[in-house]
Amino acid sequence: EDKGLKTYYQDYFPMGVAVSPYAIKGEQAELIKKNFNSMTPENVMKSGPIHPKENEYNWKDADAIAEFAKANGMRLRGHALVWHNQAPDWLYVDENGEEVSKEVLLARLKSHITEVVTRYKDVIYAWDVVNEAISDDPDEFYRDSKLYQICGEEFIARAFEYAREADPDVQLFYNDYEVINPVKREKIYKMVRGLQDAGVPIDGVGIQGHWSVFEPSEETLRATIDRFTGLGLEVQVTELDVSIYKKEHTRREKLPTDDDTFTDELKKKQIEQYDMIFKVFRENKEKLSSVTFWNVSDQYSWLDHFPVPDRKDYPLLFGEDNQPKEVYWTVVDF
């Protein structure tokens, strides 16, 4: 009999899942209740969706997810207060269409963070305060976003301070992807160290974990977890999935070698990869305070439309039919 993912892992860490409004209704809702005890809103709490105009918030979808979490006794991770992506256009310009000053942008960020954090104070235990501020380019430190262009690196420290002011008890995270890449990892380490040294209120680092059947290796995964826990902060895996494709973040076209079929060979590779990943996670249970999957089942994954449109992926533990895949049984059998 299947006890459900969260029960097998009850002595390890909470099991989380990223959800959009469709997932908290119908079949996926049942799957969520049985298997997960933590949720992250996939999109609806990002600044664009939740704050479309300066004086207008769209709370409906975010409230529905918060209510679902409360009703089912689940933990909720907030995602994400400050991100260059899915941010509303109004944020950066004044009423004449001119780019705003650093002071104005920081004031807008403060007001946004205060409103959103305060509203979900009773249910959100941790926030991704700043998401993906580090560049993928080895020759560049910070990502060259609008936020950075207008404020420089200062927006990062200020965002954490505004969030702390709004809720003294919530855990505050920096969250990023490709942290298995040693160059990017060291930049993140350095930035977080700098924030700590400056007395900025940061509690944790989120390892997104958008991985594949090809990476990371066990050695790299261990090195990544060790490096961040070495900061003395909470470490969480915030956006786990294991794609069947090689990762190339800049590629947007389907290659002739991309085949949408989930072959037996790939299934086997995925089982081995998830098996290794969860073995390492379990061994690090004192250091990892949460593991969250990015989407519920292979019925829908963000990877079905990114980086290549219309390329089906099979990155999760539950299948297109919302039933446990073979890999699920490997992950819960230890």
Catalytic residue positions, numbered: 239
Q: Which of 37, 208, 224, 270 binds ligand G3I (CB under 6 A)?
A: 208
Question: In the complex, which residue's CB is closest to ligand G3I?
Answer: 302
Q: Which is nearer to ligand G3I, 77 or 271 (CB)?
A: 77
Contact 200, 157 (CB under 8 A): yes
Q: Which of 86, 118, 149, 217 binds ligand G3I (CB under 6 A)?
A: 86
Radius of gyration for the alpha carbons in the chain, expressed in angstroms and rounded: 19
Instruction: Name which of 20, 168, 143, 21 is nearest 82 in CA terms.
Output: 143
Contact 52, 88 (CB under 8 A): yes
255-294: contacts with ligand G3I (CB under 6 A): none
33-52: contacts with ligand G3I (CB under 6 A): 42-43
Please report how close the Cβ of residue 318 comes to ligand G3I at its closest, in angstroms: 16
118 near ligand G3I, rule: CB under 6 A: no
Instruction: Name which of 101, 118, 116, 143 is nearest 47 in CA terms.
Output: 116
Q: Which of 7, 34, 52, 85 binds ligand G3I (CB under 6 A)?
A: 85
Please report how close the Cβ of residue 175 comes to ligand G3I at its closest, in angstroms: 7
Q: Which of 167, 234, 239, 304 binds ligand G3I (CB under 6 A)?
A: 239
Helix or strand holding residue 80 (H, E): strand 75-82
Structure tokens at 197: 């040294």
Owner of token pair 């007395």: 199
Q: Total binding residues for ligand G3I by CB under 6 A?
A: 9
Lay out the site mask for ligand G3I across 301-320 (x = CB under 6 A, - = otherwise). Answer: -x------------------
* Cα–Cα distances in angstroms (integers) from residue 20 to residues 46, 225, 267, in the given order: 12, 28, 27
Q: What's the start-to-end Cα distance of the chain, in Å? A: 16
Q: Which is nearer to ligand G3I, 43 or 297 (CB)?
A: 43
Please report how close the Cβ of residue 238 comes to ligand G3I at its closest, in angstroms: 8
Listed in sequence order, the residues at least 6 apart from 152 whose beta carbon sits closer than 8 Å to its beta carbon are 102
